[in-house]
Amino acid sequence: MKKIAIYIATALLTLGTPACSDFLGKEVDLSLSDEQVFSSFENTRGFLANIYTYLPDAFAGYTNGQFLAASRDCMTDNSVSFWDVHYYNSVLTDGYSSKDHPFAKDFWPKNFKGIRATNQFMKNARESVIGNSDKTGDENRLYDRYMAEARLLRAIFHFDVACWFGDVPIIGDDENGDPIIFDPADTEAMNMARTNSADALKWIADECDAIKDKLPFRYSNEDENWGRVNGAAAYALKSRALLYRASALNNPTKIASYWQEAAAAAQEFITKNNSQSNRYKLYTTSNNDTKKNYYECFVTTPYYNDEYILTRSVWNTYEIELFLAPCGFSGTATAVGRTNPTQNFVDSYETINGLPIDQDPTYDDQNPYANRDPRLEQTILHHGSVWGDALQEEQREIDVSTGGKDKRATHGGTLTGYYTKKFLNNMSFKSPSTYNHVCPIFRYGEILLNAAEAINEASGPDQAYQYVNQVRARVGMPAYRGMTQDQLRERIRNERRIELSFEDHRFFDERRWKLFEGQSMSSERNLPRYKQLYNLYGVVVTPDASTVYTYGSAEARTSRAFNSPKNYYLPIPDSDVKKAPNLKQNPGWELSATE
């Protein structure tokens, strides 16, 4: 009998098992035939659960301490990696080819394995086995809902391909409406032309429309169903897909209707959400402490967090603490902080008056962290930040000064003078414990920023302010008002940079806005650091009678390369293009016949 090919990702086994959701704990015996799987309710359910292992995950790198254990923002102007052999460093310098690019070799096959699994499920799952009766609660018309889940997962995998690779080979349904299933060894079947990325993004949005109301907008029993896609995730994916489609990278002729559709999609989510009894909303602490709201959002157990719409899984681990915390913290466990925010990123935080630092005369670069956007303190650890477990007598000020205990160690340190606080629990390194960790795929804060950006582009600032100002109000920042469309565009882009940092947004935002065009390392040097893309900066802290801050190039990672159009996308693995030449290689990544 034919065996079903099921590819199970190893991330869950590496960082720990997913918490809370009973559904995502299901697995399938790899030795089962297709008949054995789809004739059994439990096995069918387990097959669907396994498909979730292919979801994109901004924390995936923390499973590989040698080559990946830092944020993927280390491929952007937001941060650099301390560790020399991390793959991110060669991405910054455009040091890979289509033969050896590690992310291409990972993301390309992983997404198509996920797509194949969803199509297998939709073609083989049986209504008679699953059941499809009218019931109250989450089990209502279960077969219809499982099919909608699989179809939404398929759209998410196609979207991930569009983000990383541009044009997409759409593997949906055939002319009879049956899901297409390719045998992995059938290279001829995969030898197809790719669909233009703008058209693919519209196809993804249309897929969301087809199933978004067949799923519960939010599950009534999230203890059982946390982590599985819902109707809100479909609305959110549609919003992001149409936003990307309207942006310069996918909309070079500036088609106005694209922005109107993106604006409508974001507002559609908000309207639907407002009609629910259990709404998604911006996370706030019990006393709405603007100095803690943002930080607490990312360390609070996700299934108690009404801002998170969809995540990959909940991991119970302290690997995140080891790879983010300053290198001076050690005991039973030792920190090797390797995600170093740049001075470019730190400078992007406004003053508490709501002004860029170069436009506020109260800003003092020798007292640089005073009176700034509260998210700065909640995202970044800098010289003088207080950190460490007070109960274990580990609490102290961070010291990244020359020769300071948090500047450099054998396996970790900072090249910029900064470490990442977001997602970092204040763990005792003398007596370490594990924490629930998750990075959102979709959260409500993004939806508000999607709405602000799209509405500003479609019709100007008047109706856009309310959405970006909600995000700012959470941390007590002044509301925007009285701006031109161009001025608000710049502020919304900066707001996304800050609000969505270290969540796998900056890499794509830089590219879809085409920020690199018209700039170079030399031409941008007269700009404020937060507007520079190619030159990367840090701070040297010198202890003296009064601490002196000297700003200059980051250590070791002083600049980035960006070759247009090559670096807008990853290459398709060269071996796949050779097997299926109709896919065609992305521009700039082509190899000669002898390579």
CATH classification of the domain holding 301: 1.25.40.390
Q: Which of 536, 334, 563 is nearest to 428 (CA)?
A: 334
Phi, psi (deg, nearest 5) at residue 284? -135, 155
371 sits in the region (left: phi over 0; alpha: psi -120 to 50; else beta) called: left
Is position 503 within any domain? yes
Is position 460 within any domain? yes
- Are 367 and 510 in the same domain? no
Is position 114 within any domain? yes
The confidence band for 10, taking pLDDT boundaries of 50, 70 and 90, is very low
d(CA 101, CA 396): 41
Question: Cα separations (Å) of 508 from 237, 359, 497, 505, 511?
Answer: 15, 28, 11, 6, 5
Cα-based torsion angle of the residue sequence 592, 104, 380, 298 in order, rounded to the nearest 10 degrees: 170
Task: Write down the pTM of the prediction.
Answer: 0.95
In tens, the pLDDT along 263-279 reads 999 999 999 999 999 99
What's the pLDDT at 414? 98
- Are 40 and 90 in the same domain? no
Which CATH number is 140's domain given?
1.25.40.890
What's the pLDDT at 30? 59
The confidence band for 368, taking pLDDT boundaries of 50, 70 and 90, is very high
Helix (H, G, I), strand (E, B) or coil at 397: strand
- Are 109 and 92 in the same domain? no
In tens, the pLDDT along 61-100 reads 999 999 999 999 999 999 999 999 999 999 999 999 999 9
Pairing relation of β-strands 386-387 and 548-553? unpaired
Q: Residue 556 is encoded by which pair of tokens?
A: 């070791």
- Are 397 and 495 in the same domain? no
Pairing relation of β-strands 79-81 and 339-341? antiparallel
Q: Residue 419 is encoded by which pair of tokens?
A: 């470490």
- Are 153 and 276 in the same domain? no
Percentage with pLDDT > 70 across the chain = 94
- Are 36 and 159 in the same domain? yes
What's the pLDDT at 31? 73
d(CA 77, CA 343): 9
CB 38 within 8 A of CB 150: no
Is position 521 within any domain? no
In tens, the pLDDT along 292-313 reads 999 999 998 877 899 999 998 8
Is position 576 within any domain? no
What's the pLDDT at 545? 80
What's the pLDDT at 28? 59
Percentage with pLDDT > 90 across the chain = 89
Q: Residue 82 is encoded by which pair of tokens?
A: 């301390």
What's the pLDDT at 17? 39
**pLDDT surpassing 60 at residue 242:** yes
**pLDDT surpassing 90 at residue 229:** yes
- Are 478 and 372 in the same domain? no
What's the pLDDT at 566? 98
Q: Which of 53, 6, 55 is nearest to 25 (CA)?
A: 53
In tens, the pLDDT along 15-46 reads 333 444 554 455 556 578 889 999 999 999 99
Q: Which domain holds residue 300?
A: 233-314+437-515
Is position 164 within any domain? yes
* Mean model confidence pLDDT for the chain: 93
d(CA 306, CA 444): 8
- Are 273 and 364 in the same domain? no
Number of domains the chain is built from: 3
In DSSP notation, 180-236 reads P---TT-TTTT--PPBPHHHHHHHHHHHHHHHTTTS-SS-S-HHHHTTS--HHHHHH
For residue 308, list its beta bridge partners: 443
**pLDDT surpassing 50 at residue 372:** yes
- Are 115 and 9 in the same domain? yes
- Are 136 and 34 in the same domain? yes
Is position 250 within any domain? yes
- Are 150 and 6 in the same domain? yes
At a CB cut-off of 8 Å and minimum separation 6, what does 155 contact?
204, 207, 208, 234, 237
Q: Residue 257 is encoded by which pair of tokens?
A: 């209707």
- Are 89 and 112 in the same domain? no
Is position 584 within any domain? no
Q: Residue 543 is encoded by which pair of tokens?
A: 């202890």
In DSSP notation, 100-117 reads T-HHHHHHHHHHHHHHHH
**pLDDT surpassing 60 at residue 12:** no
What's the pLDDT at 182? 83
d(CA 263, CA 246): 10
In tens, the pLDDT along 122-141 reads 999 999 999 999 999 999 99
